[in-house]
Amino acid sequence: MSDARSLILKWLCAAILLGACGAVAAADAPAPPPPPAPPAASARTPAPAATPALPIKPDEVLTHVGKTVDWYRGLQSLEQIQGTPQDLLSRARLQEESRTAVRLAFDFGHASAAILRAGAADDSTAPAATGFAGQLDQMTDRVAQRVTMLQAQLADLDAKLEHARGTAKSTLTAQRGDVSAALALVREVQSSMQDMERFESYALSSDSSGEGGLGTQISALEKSVPEAARAAGTSAGRVQSANASSGGASSAGASGVNGPGGKPPNSAATSAAGGSAAAATAAAAPAFHPESAGVIALATQWFALHSTHRQLTGAFKQTGSLLDEVNDQRRTITGAVRNVLRDAFGSSTSDDPGQLNAHKAVLEAGAAQFKKLSTVLVPLGEQALTLESAQGTLTDWRGQVGERADEVSRYLALRVGFLLASIAIVLAISEVWRRATFRYLHDTRRRRQFLVLRRVAVGVTLTVVILFELVSELGSVATYAGFVTAGIAVALQNVILAVVAYFFLIGRYGVRVGDRITLAGVTGRVVDIGLVRIYLMELSGPELHSTGRIVVLSNAVLFQPTAMFKQIPGAEYVWHTITLTLDASADVVEANKRLKAAADGVYAKYRSGIERQYAVMQRLLEFDTSTPAPEVRVRWTESGLQCAVRYPVEPENSASVDQQMLKALRDALAKDPPLKLLSAEPVALKSSDS
C-alpha cells in the first residue's frame, strides 16, 4: 500500500509539472512541416490486405501449453516403476523426450506471445489509450521532445561560447545556465514518467487478458516445471527473431531448427538421456528369473507387470491425444504459411512503378509474416517429432512388459499346476497307505501307530511341497523360520515335550489302550493316548478296582524323574506274599518242604490261567523269563525263622486264593511233627505287581 501511495503522489506531482512543461514545450516547439503529397502512382495502388498476426487464438495457445504440462506431469507416475534395466532405459529415454516436448511447448508459447505483442504494437488501427494512461503516454512524448529540444539548444549555446567574447560571452553563459537548469528539471520529470511507465507495464502484465497476459501465464507455467527449463538463448532467440524487422526466412528457419552453436536442440537431450540411462542401468534392480521363482513371487510380479501395462497404455493414449492437438495447430499455421507463400511467390508482369512498389510491399510483408510464423511452426514441428518418438518408446516399453507378463503367466500356470499335481499325488499315496494299513494290519495298536505315522508323513510332505512351490528364496525363509521356531520352542516347550513323549509311549514296548500302568503316582488302565495327553481309568485298592474316575495326564510327565510302571502285555496276574514266623528250633528244610508242597497244591488249581497269560507275554518279549510258580524263602531273624511264600494270583480271584493258600500253609505246619507258629508274630499278607 505504501508503494502504491508513493506512486500515486509521483503521478500527481508529475501531472502538475508536466502541465507547466507542456505549456513551455508547446510554445517553444517549431511548427511541423506540411506532409508531402503522395505520388500519383501510389494513390492508384491498392494497399495490401490486413492479415492476423497469428492464425490461432491466445486461449488456444495457453490451452495447448497447459495440456502439455499436464501430460508431462502424468508421465512422472512412470518413475515409480521398478523393473529390468531395459525398463529403466526406456523410462530414462521417455523422461528426456517428455522434457524436450514440454520445453518446445514453452518455446511455442513464448513465440506466440511475442508475435501477438508485436502485432498489437504494429497495428495502426488499434485504438489509442484513454484515461490517465493515455495522458501519461502523451506527456511522456512531449517531455521527450522537450528534452531533445533543450539538448539541441544546449549544444548550440556551447558552440557559440567557443567563439564569443566579452559581453556576448556573459550573455551566452547566462542563457546556458538557464537551459541547463530547465534540462535538469525536465529530466527529473522524465525520470518520474519512466517510473510510472514501469508501474503501468507491471500492472498490465499482471492482467490475464490480452497478449501481455499470455506471456505472463506461459512464464508462470514454465516456473512450475523447473526441471524442464531450457538453456538460455533458445526461447529468447526465437522471440527476438519474431520481433526483428529484417532478415530472410531461411535464416529464421535455421535459427528455429538449430540451437546455439549450430547444434540440433535434441543433441543435449540425447547426451542427457545417455547419462540418465547409464545411471539408471547402474541402479537397476536384480533381474527377475521366472523359471526359478515361486508361486508368490510370480503372482506378485504378474500383478506388477499388469499394473505397469495399464499405466503405459494410459500414457500412450494421452500422448496420442496431445499429438493430435499439435497436428491440428500445425495444420492451421501451415495453412497461413501457404497463403503467405502463395501471395509472395506470385510474379508481377506489370511495368507500372506503382504496382511494382505494391508487389514489393507484399513480398516484404510476406517475408516478415513468414519469419514470425516460422518461430511458432518450428517448435510445433519439433514437438510433434518428439511426441511421435515418445509414442514409439511407450509402444516398445509396453510390448516388452506384455511379453514379460505372458512369460510370467506361463510359469505361474506351470507352478500352480505342478503344485496341485504334487498335492494330488501326496493325497493319493496317503489314501493307499490308509487302505493298506486297514487291510494288512489287524493289530489295533500297530494300526494306530501306522495311521499316526501316516498323518505326520503326509503333513510334513505337504508342507515341504507347498513351501518349495510358493517360496523362491529358501535361504531367507530358512532364516525367518529359524527365528520363528526358536520362539515357538520357548513358548510351547511343554507341548513339544508332550508330542515327543507320545512317540515314546506308542513304541514297540510302549503303552496301548487297556494296559495297566502307574504314571506320576497314578495307577490305572489306559483309555486313550492322544498326541498331547493320555487318559487313564483310575484303579485303587489291593484288588485294583476302578474308582470311576478318569485321570488326564500330559504326555510330558514321561520325562519327569518319577518312573512309569507298566504291566507286561498279556500278563494280568499279580504276586502275593504271605509271611509266617516259626519257632527258632524248627527244622529249616522240613519247613521249606512243607510250605512249598502246600503252595504248589493250591497253585495247581489255577495254574492253567497263569501259564496262558505267561505264553502271551513270552511272545512279545525277545528274551526268556522264568515260568511263574510259588516260591518259598526262609531266613533267620531275631524273633525266629521267617518264611515268605510268594505266588502268582489273578486279581479277580485273589481273595479266595489268599484264603486257600493261608489255610493250606497252616495245615502243612500242623502235620507231625508239628512246626510251632509263633503267636507273637502275626501272619502278614502283601500284594505287589512284580
Cα angle, residue 21 at apex, residues 16 and 22 outer, rounded to 5°: 95
Q: Where are the domains of the chain?
A: 2-31+39-292, 444-491, 494-566, 574-688
Tell me the pLDDT tens digit for each residue of 412-468. Answer: 899 899 989 999 999 999 999 999 988 888 877 678 878 888 898 898 899 888 887
Contacts 24+ apart (CB under 8 A), 249-255: 249/367, 249/370, 249/371, 249/374, 252/370, 252/371, 252/374, 252/375, 253/374, 253/378
CB within 8 Å of 83: residues ≥ 6 apart: 285, 308, 401
Which stretches of 206-294 are DSSP H helices?
A: 211-223, 234-243, 249-257, 266-282
Grouping H, G, I as helix, E, B as strand and the rest as coil, residue 684 is strand
Closest CA to 181 of 164, 159, 157: 157
Listed range (12-16, 300-304, 333-337, 534-538) with the worst mean pLDDT: 12-16
The confidence score (pLDDT) of residue 274 equals 45
High-pLDDT (> 90) share of the chain, %: 7
Tell me the torsion sign for CA atoms 136, 142, 148, 151: negative
Closest CA to 617 of 653, 651, 567: 567
Q: What is the DSSP-derived secondary structure letter of residue 677? A: B
Class (C level, CATH) for 574-688: alpha beta
Compute the distance between CA of residue 302 and CA of residue 30 in angstroms, rounded to an integer. 88
The confidence score (pLDDT) of residue 226 equals 79
* Higher pLDDT pick, 1 / 422: 422
Class (C level, CATH) for 494-566: mainly beta
Burial of 415 (0-12, 13-18, 19+ CB in 10 A): buried
CB distance 584 to 681 below 8 Å? no
Q: Rg for the chain (alpha carbons), in Å?
A: 59
Confidence of residue 44 (pLDDT cuts 50, 70, 90): very low
The confidence score (pLDDT) of residue 423 equals 92
**What are the DSSP calls for 388-451, one per residue?**
HHHHHHHHHHHHHHHHHHHHHHHHHHHHHHHHHHHHHHHHHHHHHHHHHHHHH---HHHHHHHH
Which stretches of 124-225 are DSSP H helices?
A: 131-161, 167-205, 211-223
Looking at the predicted structure, is the pLDDT value of residue 132 above 60?
no
Q: Which residue carries 493515455 as its cell?
A: 134
Range with the largest mean pLDDT of 27-41, 182-196, 663-677: 663-677
Residues listed for the chain: 690
The confidence score (pLDDT) of residue 552 equals 93
CB distance 350 to 102 below 8 Å? no
* Higher pLDDT pick, 272 / 469: 469
Grouping H, G, I as helix, E, B as strand and the rest as coil, residue 379 is helix
Largest CA distance in the chain: 197
